[in-house]
Amino acid sequence: MANRDISAAWRYHDGTKHSVPRLRAHPHYLDWEIKPLPFKIYPGIEAIPLPRELPPSRVPALTAIAGGAGAPAAVVPDAKTLARILHYSAGITRKKTYPGGQEHYFRAAACTGALYHIDIYVVCGDLGGLAAGVYHFGPHNFALYRLRDGDHRGVLVAATGDEPAVAHAPAILVCASTYWRNAWKYQARAYRHCFWDSGTILANLLAVAVADEVPARILCGFVDEAVSALIGLDAQREGPLALVALGHRHTAVKARPPGAPIELETLPLSPREVDYPPIREIQAASSLRAEDVPTWHHGATATPSQAAPANEIIPLRPLAEAALPAETIDSVIARRGSTREFAHVPIAFEQLSTMLQAATRGVDVDYGASPSDLYLIVHAVDGLASGAYVYHRAAGGLELLRAGNFRREAGNLGLGQELPADASVNFYMLCNLEPLLARFGNRGYRVAQLDAAIIGGKLYLATYALRLGATGLTFFDDDVTEFFSPHAAGKSVMFLMAVGKGRTGRV
């Protein structure tokens, strides 16, 4: 079975690591003549406009970000609720027009290179204001495109091995990537970005779902071929990444076999595309078959790899509830951006504590415990000494690994950029891949990347809720592991987030 041959995951991971010699030996220049469109457009399908008058949320952002999964109540989202979730997770929040008339669209969630290669599909029964069907979400005109008529949720029930959350969900969302839209800039490393960028979208989605009291469960265990056939993906250019069971009905949908695949015309993304075979190879090698899925869901657990603290734990000091900002999740998402310049000024330890707590809880997933370990380089946090730390979730505190000023080292780890050197603190999500791949096969690599990105996306939102700035960055892989070793020996870095106060003061 291909998924159990974990040499594929290691081959891809090691083959796409950044290092100074590799970047020098293989420079990449952007060909602006073939820059891809940022949207998937179906010219032959009529658009179904989504409601634009969306009811506002009154839930404070940090409450929504940290919100957990409760018992699934009977909640059936209607077209307006679905529109809210789509808008605040993958929609366009604002646009900027440049001289000459060129327009740039800003999306609700952060995306590597602002290339927006993640598409959202909706598979639903009858909802209030929306008929049962399979739909593609078009952010460019805030509309749905019906790809299939009728209720096809049973196909996803079968594809997830009768997962209860899917069987009872009024709607299931599918995150998928069109690889070229990101690989144009990032080449084969774009497969990592598939999960980074779907993870930030899912962080937004989870927060909005909490605010709207809609149960949401993220699923990584599904039969790829069945999902791709249902929504009409081109397996050579696109791939499904994650499912989200949205809402809950007491009556379950029965599993059913997939129908015939569909092929629908879409506009060309660019005059030509460049193929990066490692992307297709790792997607195929980490794909699940029908016989794999029951094993996936049977007692699925990603065993935390974190060692017990060897030094004193510094307890977190989160803001008191009365001191939390009252700004709603809608407002925070609408003004979220990516900080381009940090000031050398400290943030408060209470702010750091609050964002750490909010970012590391409240996620309902089908793979069990989070496999991500959070490491920090602290430059300027009032009430916390500068140095390298590891976060112990169970103990609710930080362990100092090494004291000192590491601004220069942080800049070097982040591809020599100034942003991680200038930030107040940098968060590194690391994972011990060996036990994860042993448990899940190559599919565990997807879990590692997605889990880290969801935490990163929640950190992003929590940072802006606290009126701070943040930006995601890439890194020299092995150098990050070496910097945090011996504690991080054997682990791999999945995600990097820099946080601080923007130099302009505008967030």
For residue 305, tell me if it sits in a domain. no
Indicate if the pLDDT at residue 507 is higher than 90.
no
| Token pair 């007692």: residue | 299
Residue 308: pLDDT band by 50, 70, 90 thresholds? Answer: confident
Rounded Cα gap, residues 241 and 141, in angstroms: 24
What's the pLDDT at 309?
A: 78
Distances 79 to 89, 104, 203 between C-alpha atoms, Å: 15, 27, 21
Where are the strands (E) in 318-460, listed by range?
347-348, 372-378, 381-382, 387-392, 397-403, 425-431
What is the pLDDT at residue 24? 86
Number of residues written out for the chain = 507
pLDDT in the model for residue 70: 54
Rounded alpha-carbon distances, angstroms, from residue 221 to 41, 224, 439 = 28, 9, 13
Residues 207 and 319 in one domain: no
Q: What is the pLDDT of residues 435-470, one digit of tens each?
A: 999 999 999 999 999 999 999 999 999 999 999 999
Say what the pTM is: 0.96
| Co-location of 56 and 163 in the same domain | yes
Give pLDDT, residue 406.
Answer: 98
Q: Is 496 helix (H, G, I), strand (E, B) or coil?
A: strand
In-domain check, residue 52: yes
Express each pLDDT in 356-409 by its tens digit: 999 998 899 999 999 999 999 999 999 999 999 999 999 999 999 999 999 999
Q: What is the pLDDT of residues 50-78, one digit of tens each?
A: 999 998 899 999 999 998 655 567 899 99
Tokens 């997607």, located at residue: 283
Q: Are residues 284 and 323 in the same domain?
A: no
pLDDT score, position 503 = 78
Tell me, yes or no, whether 207 lies in a domain: yes
* 235 and 329 fall within a common domain: no
Query: CATH no. for residue 54?
Result: 3.40.109.10
Q: Is residue 304 part of a domain?
A: no
323 shares a domain with 258: no
Structural domain of residue 85, as residue ranges?
Answer: 27-94+108-264+277-290
Tally the C-alpha atoms within 13 A of residue 53's C-alpha that lie toward its C-beta. 0
Residue 301: which pLDDT band, with cuts at 50, 70 and 90?
low
For residue 31, how many other CB atoms are within 10 A of its CB? 13
Mean pLDDT value across residues 471-484 = 97
Residue 26's φ and ψ, nearest 5 degrees, are: -130, 65
User: Per-residue DSSP letters for 185-223?
Assistant: HHGGGHHHHHHHHHHHHHHHHHHHHHHTT--EEEE--SB
Which whole number is the average pLDDT over 275-292? 96
Range 330-345 burial, b when 16+ CB lie within 10 A, else e: bbbbeebbbbeebbee
In this structure, the answer to whether residues 217 and 334 fall within a common structural domain is no
Q: Is residue 102 part of a domain?
A: no
Number of domain units in the chain: 2
Mean of the per-residue pLDDT values for the chain? 93
Whole-number pLDDT of residue 304: 55
Is residue 281 located within the same domain as residue 347?
Answer: no
Q: pLDDT digits over 180-204, tens only?
A: 999 999 999 999 999 999 999 999 9
Same domain, 360 and 431: yes
Q: Could you tell me what percent of the chain has a pLDDT over 90?
A: 84
